[in-house]
Amino acid sequence: MPHWIFTEEHEMFRKSIRAFMEKEVLPNIEQWEKDGETPRTLYKRMGELGYLGIKFPEEYSGLGLDLIMEAVFTEEFSRCGAGGVQSAIGAHTSIAMTNIWKYGNQEQKQKYLVPGIKGEVIAALAITEPSGGSDVSGLKTTAIREGDYYILNGSKTFITNGVNADYAIVAAKTKEEPIHRNVSLFIVETNSPGYSVGKKLKKLGWRSSDTGEIFFDNVKVPVENLIGNENEGFLYIMKNFQYERLIMALGCIGAAEKALELAVKYSKERIQFKQPLSEFQVIRHKLVDMAVDIEKARNITYRALYLYNKGENCVTEATMAKVYATEMVNRVADQALQIHGGNGYMMEYPIQRIWRDARIQTIGGGTTQIMNDILTKQLGILS
């Protein structure tokens, strides 16, 4: 339904994205799920249309539009019903390249941001390690400076685009102490000697995105590939988490809308006891509850988006949006599958993919438990 945060221009853009999805993405999802990755041709095509550079300035080949416009793109993209495709593109634009745009210098932007916006290269963000997920401060990967290079050693896991990326934004410790002031971000080209990719990880959901392990064995990273200031990487990561969590919440809203749409359609077509499922009050009420749940998440998320777009601190609001929307999409997808009955458990029905894809949302980008811990501090519950 219409919302005050969107203008007529936003709604026109929404229609163009939806048309693109129906023509060039939806027909290919099953194949991409089997392939276990989103093809480079999609990045290239989206780069040609400007979809990879919505928020980025025109001087870097972007469209120079506002974050609300990118929010429209995220919602519509997630409605394709394949979280893997949306996560692959989102990891490239919203998570990886945003660090270069926000904190990189002009040379880095021209060398790495511009071709990324054009879809000529694929980017990944490499933070998570085998020894710890949500504990960013506990990184073990190190980058020791030797002359004009940093020598990078360590490993990363669960990296979206980790198999096919041309460069990765890597978080590494540049000194031991003090904690939170000892991490730096680097642009690391994946063809660098000593850089290797392990197996492509097999996942429950998000199968149309490649997820991999990365290993660094004395990788020489030029000093000029340091993003921003040395030892300030933890601060950059935390700042970008606000937007990453907003993007995840928006994606959950789009996916939940698709799940509800499928459930409504199925309830009207499926005949049981000589009448459509939609004629049963219990099913109608279940669908209404799902719609209300989505609307709650939408308004919490849009409020946070509005504040973020204004440049205000919205840690509390973005964290709340991430918590509620990610839990919501799991509830809605589960109920939608339940309405499908036995057919919902069959692989030929798309609701099973939405259900599988939804499960990661309460884990990635900070678990619900970590989010709640942040909120106890933000709300003054924990002194």
Whole-number pLDDT of residue 131:
84
Task: Report whether CATH 1.20.140.10 matches the domain 234-378.
Answer: yes
The string of pLDDT tens digits covering residues 317-341 is 999 999 999 999 999 999 999 999 9
Give the separation between CA 344 and CA 266, rounded to whole angstroms.
10
Among residues 33, 70, 129, 244, the one annotated as catalytic is 244
Phi, psi of 363, rounded to the nearest 5 degrees: -110, -55
For residue 27, whether the previous peptide bond is cis, meaning omega lies within 30 degrees of 0, is no
Nearest-10 crossing angle of helices 315-340, 281-309? 160
- The structure tokens listed for 116 are 């990324």
Give the separation between CA 91 and CA 155, rounded to whole angstroms.
19
Please report the DSSP string for 161-209 in residue order: TTTT-SEEEEEEESSS-STTSSEEEEEEETTSTTEEEEEEPP-SS-TTS
Whole-number pLDDT of residue 2:
65
> Pairing relation of β-strands 149-160 and 195-200?
unpaired
Low-confidence residues in the chain, pLDDT < 70 = 1-2, 133-134, 383
Q: Which CATH class is domain 8-121?
A: mainly alpha
* Fold for the domain defined by 124-231: Butyryl-CoA Dehydrogenase, subunit A; domain 2 (2.40.110)
Whole-number pLDDT of residue 141:
97
- Tell me if residue 244 is catalytic: yes
Tell me which H or E stretch contains 157.
strand 149-160
> Pairing relation of β-strands 183-189 and 226-227?
antiparallel
Is-same-fold flag (8-121; 234-378)?
Answer: no
Whole-number pLDDT of residue 193:
98
Cα 93 to Cα 5, 122, 137, 161, 179: the distances in Å are: 22, 9, 24, 11, 29
The residue extents of the domains of the chain are: 8-121, 124-231, 234-378
Contact criterion met (CB below 8 Å) for 332 and 260: yes
Whole-number pLDDT of residue 138:
84
